[in-house]
Every structure is written in C-alpha cells, then in structure tokens.
Chains A and B, each alone.
Chain A
Amino acid sequence: MAKVVDARGLSCPQPVLLARKAMEEGEFPIEVLVDTGTSRDNVSRVAQKAGFKVKVEEKEGGFVVKIEK
C-alpha cells in the first residue's frame, strides 16, 4: 500500500512541505494528491531533486504524484 498524502486545496508551499515530510519518514511509495498544476510541478521537482523516481497521473480533475525510491 502506498502512503497517501492529501495536499489538495492547500496553498504554496504546504503541498511541498507535506511531501517532504513523507519522504523524510521514508515509507515508500508515496502518492501525493494535488489539484493544481503548480503543486504538481513543485512536488515533482522537489522529489526528483531529492533523487526519487516520480510519475504523474491525472485523477478526478487533479493529479497523483507518485514518488518511488
């Protein structure tokens, strides 16, 4: 089971902060739910920069950013 982080509707930079917290906790894979292109790009960039694999899927008018080791 993936760890799900629901960051929908949150302002910058909270989605990134939540995603970072989850990455630090080290339980992978992580699915970050976001609802704006901005949050999708920001979470993806930070996860990639930290050296993780990132996949993005569209879901229910938003996005799932999947973060894997």
Chain B
Amino acid sequence: MSSFFASRIGIIVSGAIIGALAALLVLWGNPPNMGVCVACFTRDTAGALGLHRAAPVQYIRPELIGFVFGALLGALLFKEFKPRSGSAPIIRFVLGFFAIIGALVFLGCPWRAYLRLAGGDLNALLGIAGFIVGVAIGVFFLKRGYSLGRSRPTGTAVGLVMPAFALILLLLLVFRVSFGENAPIFFSKSGPGSLHAPILISLVVGIVAGFLAQRTRFCTMGAIRDVIIMRDFHLLSGVLAFIVAAFLVNLAIGKFHPGFAAQPIAHSNHLWNFLGMVLAGMSFALAGGCPGRQFFMAGGGDGDAAMFVFGMLVGAAFAHNFNLAGVPDKIVDGKLVVGGPSIWGQIAVIVGLIIVAAIGWTMREK
C-alpha cells in the first residue's frame, strides 16, 4: 500500500481526488473558485480569532483542521509520526509571514491559483507565472547552497502542538464559542467568510486531502521546483491531475467562466498578481513546501513547519490590519473598477522580496 502512494499513479489519483473535492466544496457552499485556499483559509481563521477585524473574512475553516488531522492519521498509521524541530524556526516563521502577504496580494495561494485557473479565472495565469518565477529564484538559492540547517528529533510535545491547536480550533468552531460582545469567535455575516460548506463535509474533505497528501507528498510548490531542478515530473503530475479534475468538475456543475475582468474574489491588476506570487513562490521554495504541505508536515510532527503555519497566521492578520491584501475587482455603475493592493500592500511585497532574498542569499549550510 505504501508503494502505491509513492507511485506515479498514486499521486495522480490522489491529486485528482483532492482537485475534484476542492471544486465540489464550492457547490457545497465554499466561496467561488475557493474550494480550498490555504492562504485564504488561514486568513479567515485569523479573522475568526479576532487577530484581524476584516468582517467579511472571518471563519474557522475546518478544511485546515482536517489537513492536520488527516496528515497526523497518515503519519501514525504508517509509523511516520516524528516530532522534530530546530531548523531555523524563526526564519520559517518569517517565510510564512511573507508567503501569505504575497499570496493575499494576489488573493490566493498556489492551491487557489490552480483552482482559479480551473474555474476560468485567467488572472491566475499571471499569479502562476509569478509563482514559477519565485520558485525558480528559490531554486537559484538552493543550488548555491541555501539551507536552513538540520532539524533534530525531539519530544512528542513538539509534534503535538499543531494537532492540539487544530483540535482547539475545532472545538471553538463547533460550539461557536463567544468570548463576549464584540469579541471572538467571529463569524462573517457577509462576504467570503460567510460562504462555507457544512462543517462536517469540510472537515472530512480536509482529512481525506490531508491523508492522501501526507502519503503521496503532494506539494503545489515542489511540483514546480522539481521540474526546474531536475526535470522530475512526479509531483507535477499530481498537481496537473488536481487542476484537470477541478476543471472537469467545474464544467459539470456549471462553474467554469473564462475571463479576466471581475472574476470572483480576484483582481485583474496584473503586475501585483505577478509580484505577489513571486514573493509567495520564493518563500514557499525556501521553506521546502507549499502552504498545504506545511500543514501536512506540521500534522506529521514537524515543529518547524508548525512555525511556518503560525507565521502565516500572523502574516494574515498583518495583511488585513495594515491594508496589505489585494482588493477584488468591482463593477460600479456598469463599469469595471480594477482592484489590487494599496500602496502599503505594494511596499510590503517589495520589502518582503528584499527580506526573503536576503534569507536565501545568506543562509548556507556550514
């Protein structure tokens, strides 16, 4: 069974299942072209916890909780649960922080970039192009010896931090815990945060995706990286299956609408779609995995990946507290108003590019 998941057919089947489920989640209630978006869902979760107060994007997303539980399950069943940490955790936090700022300027992580494409949102092409450039820059640093150093095996508690955090989030969600008037937990009444599939469906899809991804090492960044580094198409075949399956499901359920302008929860500000995802791609490449993969690794006991996830959570809060995130296109009086990031979002991307490049340049294996 282990060899099936490691095989080419294993990752293609798994990628297709995850892609199809992601597209179906929109039918079941998730926001358009956002069946699964690790960055957006981290942002929604940050909002639900009151770490930012952007009312339309506040909801504890059970898919992410499922990611952690599914990966934990896969790791435990196949004796791969290994608590480990110590590979420059604070740098991983910083990479997570800037990865999500870049992603939220574009309005989606690589997962959603692929899903947006599968839904006909052609702005995703700019985002994916930027993402590929970002990953290529990461590969450049890797080839000249970039390393965050070695992690070490450590106590079980380190490996259980992320599963415990996920469990607490699940309890807060299920019991809709309120900490007082105008206090968390917040649930959006309108906007993307108000659109969600039933909790149980989202959770189960997350667990299935987490399990399959833990077994197959599905990674939306590694897919690009491995092709650039060594023409290895293994992970890419999983991602292509993910996109094709989501596309076919979208066709079947009438959710494929090709075009650039006024796509759902997206903007057609091409330059910043591109640059935001350059920043995200670089950050994911230097952290060794896409945002989904960071959740899966954290569920499997990797404390450094958990630091990356917490970096994303804090980055998402900053993105909305400081108006860094991209604003979607709007139609006002029949005219298209192109969205995109504010000047502060643009500055954040530039600063992020400089800091992440500095990390890539200076962190070398001794």
Contact = CB atoms under 8 A, between A and B. Distances in A.
B78 interface: yes
Interface string A6-30: 0011111110110010000000000
Interface stretch (B142-150, B194-202, B238-246): B142-150
A46 interface: yes
A12 B232 contact: no
A52 to B, nearest CB: 14
Interface string B40-84: 000000000000000000000000000000000000001010101
Contact of B229 (A13, A37, A45, A49): A13
Contacts of A51: none
A17 B80 CA distance: 22
A47 to B, nearest CB: 12
Interface of A is mostly: helix
Nearest to B85: A9
Contacts of A9: 84, 86-87, 149-152
Contact of B288 (A12, A46, A49, A61): A12
Contacts of B365: 14
Contact of B78 (A10, A20, A37, A61): A37
Given A9-B150, A41-B217, A35 B82 contact: yes
B273 to A, nearest CB: 27
Interface in B281-307: 287-289, 304
Contacts of B232: 45-46, 49
B150 A36 contact: no
B222 A12 contact: yes
Nearest to B226: A13
Contacts of A20: 230
A11 B82 CA distance: 14
A45 B217 contact: no
Contacts of A13: 142, 222, 225-226, 229, 288
Contacts of B78: 37
Nearest to B225: A13
A35 B147 contact: no
B330 interface: no
Nearest to A61: B153
Interface of A: 8-14, 16-17, 20, 35-38, 41-42, 45-46, 49, 61
Interface of B: 6, 78, 80, 82, 84, 86-87, 142-143, 147-153, 217, 219, 222, 225-226, 229-230, 232, 234, 287-289, 304, 365
Given A9-B150, A35-B84, A36-B80, 20 more contacts: A8-B150, A9-B84, A9-B86, A9-B151, A10-B87, A10-B147, A11-B287, A11-B288, A12-B222, A13-B222, A13-B225, A13-B229, A14-B142, A16-B230, A17-B142, A35-B82, A37-B78, A37-B80, A45-B6, A49-B232
